[in-house]
Amino acid sequence: MSVPSVPGGFPDPEAIPDQFDVYDVEVGEERVRYYGEPRDEKETVLRNVVPVFRERGYRLRLNYETGEHVLVATERSPGVDGIPWTNLALLGATVVTTLLAGARWYGIPVADAPLRVVEAWPFAASVLGVLAVHELGHYATSRYHDVEASLPYFIPVPTHLGTMGAVIRIRDRFPDRRALFDIGAAGPLAGLVATVVVTAVGVSLPPIDVSDGASVATQLELGYPLLIRGIAAALGEPLRYADPSLAVNPVVVGGWIGAFVTFLNLMPVGQLDGGHVTRAIVGERVALLGYAVPAALFGLAGYLFVFGDASGAAIWVLWGFLTLVFGRVRGSGPLDGSPVGRGRAALGVLTLLLGALCFTPTPVVFVG
C-alpha cells in the first residue's frame, strides 16, 4: 500500500526515523496526521522524531486514537498571531478584581461611591506588576529558545487579593535541559526583582489609617517572609505599627504576593518552576521530590494545627494535595538530555535558596 504524499514543508513518511513506521497519512487544513506503529516507548519515539518536524517549523504529539497510533503535526508559531483577545479579556477582568480588592485594603467605600475604586490603582498596579514581570520572564526566555508559548493568562478572582496569579502555556517541547532551566528559572528571578522593587516602594509610602475598621487590614494579618522583612529593615521602615490605627501601605501587599507566588512556584515538583529547574539539573531523579514535598507540607500543617495557628494550617493542607497532583503530572522531558553545566547548576541552587527566603510558615492569619 502506497503512503499518500504530504504538503510542502511537512516531512515525507520516508524522512521520519525508523522508530515510527508510517502506513497512512491524513492531510487536514491545519495539521497532518501520520498513522503508524511505534517501535519503542512513546517518549523515546518522540525524542527521535520531534527534531525532524521542529527544524521544519512544526510541533508534534503522539496520540493513541481508536486503536491506532498517530503522530499529529501542527505548524509552530512562537510569536503572537493576531490580537490575543482571551489574554486581554482576562487582564481586563483582573484589573477590575484587583482594584476591588485594593479598595478593601484601603477601606474605600465603593458601595457608596463606585468610581472611587480607581483610587486603589497603586495596589492593583503592584499586584499586576509582580505577576506580569514573572510571567514575561518565562515568555521572553521561551522566545529566546524558540519554544512556542502563550502570552500570560491572568486569573481574576473576587477575593482579598483579587487574583490567583497568572500562567503561560508552553505548547512546545523543550529542545534541551538548558532551555528547560532557563525558562523555568527566568520567571521566579524576574518576579523576585519586581517583588524587591514593589516592596521597597511600598514600605517607603505612608501607612494608611484603619481606625474606622473599613480596611481588610483589620481582619487579616500577613506573615512576612525574610525577604520582605529584610527589605523593610534595610530601608529602616516598619511592617507593624505600635499605633493600632495604622497599617502598612497596601502596596506592600503586592510585594507579599510576589514573594508568596515565588515560593510556591519554586517548590521542586512537577510542572512548577522549581520542578523545571530541578529536573534540568538532576534529571528524572526529581520525581522523588513528588513525595517529599507534599509530606513536608502536610507535616508543617500538622505542626501548625497542634502548636501554632490552626487557621494557618489550611493553606499547607491545600498545597500538600496540590503538590501531590503536580508531582504526578511529569510532562514531556527535554529532547536533548545533556547536562546544563556547572554555571546553571549553581544558579539553580541560588534560585531555590532565594525562593526559601520567600517562605513564611503562617502566610495569613484571620484576626477580625
- 347 — pLDDT class (breaks 50, 70, 90): very high
On whether residue 240 sits in a domain, the answer given is yes
Q: Which of 7-21, 58-72, 349-363 has the highest mean pLDDT?
A: 349-363
On whether residue 295 sits in a domain, the answer given is yes
**Does 115 lie in the same domain as 54?**
no
In the three-class reduction of DSSP (H, G, I as helix; E, B as strand; rest coil), residue 166 is classed as strand
On whether residue 24 sits in a domain, the answer given is yes
Q: What are phi and psi of 241, to 5 degrees?
A: -125, 140
**Does 142 lie in the same domain as 248?**
yes
**Does 27 lie in the same domain as 101?**
no
Select from 31, 47, 75 the last residue of a domain: 75
**Does 213 lie in the same domain as 92?**
yes
Q: Residue 8's pLDDT is what? A: 66
**Does 50 lie in the same domain as 159?**
no
**Does 124 lie in the same domain as 37?**
no
What's the maximum distance between 2 C-alpha atoms anywhere in the chain? 85
Whole-prediction pTM: 0.88
Report the amino acid identity of residue 254: G
Look at residue 305 and tell me whether its pLDDT is greater than 90: no
What are the C-alpha distances in Å from 149 to residues 135, 137, 167?
Answer: 11, 12, 10
Q: State how beta strands 153-156 and 208-209 pair.
A: unpaired
On whether residue 30 sits in a domain, the answer given is yes
Q: Which of 10-24, 44-58, 135-149, 322-336 has the highest mean pLDDT?
A: 135-149
**Does 94 lie in the same domain as 44?**
no
Q: What are phi and psi of 332, to 5 degrees?
A: -80, 140
- 4 — pLDDT class (breaks 50, 70, 90): low
- 196 — pLDDT class (breaks 50, 70, 90): very high
CB 64 within 8 A of CB 42: no
User: Per 3-state DSSP, what percentage of the chain is helix, strand, and coil (rounded to 5)?
Assistant: 50, 15, 35
Q: Residue 296's pLDDT is what? A: 93
Select from 32, 51, 75 the last residue of a domain: 75
On whether residue 80 sits in a domain, the answer given is no
CB 340 within 8 A of CB 351: no
**Does 197 lie in the same domain as 96?**
yes
- 250 — pLDDT class (breaks 50, 70, 90): very high
Q: Residue 166's pLDDT is what? A: 92
User: Dihedral angle at the C-alpha atoms of 240, 242, 246, 250, nearest 10 degrees?
Assistant: 0
On whether residue 210 sits in a domain, the answer given is yes
**Does 358 lie in the same domain as 334?**
yes
Q: How many CA atoms lie within 13 A of 363 on its CB side?
A: 20
Query: Average pLDDT in the 61-66 region?
Result: 88
Nearby residues of 52 by Cβ (< 8 Å), 6 or more positions away: 11, 15, 16, 17
* CATH number assigned to the domain comprising residue 59: 3.90.1070
**Does 290 lie in the same domain as 173?**
yes
Q: Residue 330's pLDDT is what? A: 66
d(CA 123, CA 349): 32
Select from 53, 75, 97 the last residue of a domain: 75
d(CA 153, CA 142): 15
Domain that holds residue 308: 85-366
Q: Residue 331's pLDDT is what? A: 67
**Does 90 lie in the same domain as 64?**
no
Q: How many domains does the chain have?
A: 2
Asked which of 204-208, 252-256, 295-299, 302-306 is least confident by mean pLDDT, the reply is 302-306
Of 266, 190, 196, the C-alpha closest to 230 is 196
Percentage with pLDDT > 90 across the chain: 53
Look at residue 215 and tell me whether its pLDDT is greater than 60: yes
On whether residue 2 sits in a domain, the answer given is no
**Does 200 lie in the same domain as 296?**
yes
Q: Which of 60-64, 260-264, 282-286 has the highest mean pLDDT?
A: 260-264
CA pseudo-torsion sign 32, 36, 9, 173: positive
Percentage with pLDDT > 70 across the chain: 96
Q: Residue 195's pLDDT is what? A: 97
What is the tens place of the pLDDT at every residue in 49-61? 888 888 888 888 8
CB 34 within 8 A of CB 16: yes
What is the tens place of the pLDDT at every residue in 121-180? 999 999 999 999 999 999 999 999 989 889 999 999 999 999 999 999 888 889 899 999
- 2 — pLDDT class (breaks 50, 70, 90): low
Q: Residue 54's pLDDT is what? A: 86
On whether residue 6 sits in a domain, the answer given is no
d(CA 271, CA 138): 13
Question: 3 or 229: which carries more pLDDT confidence?
Answer: 229
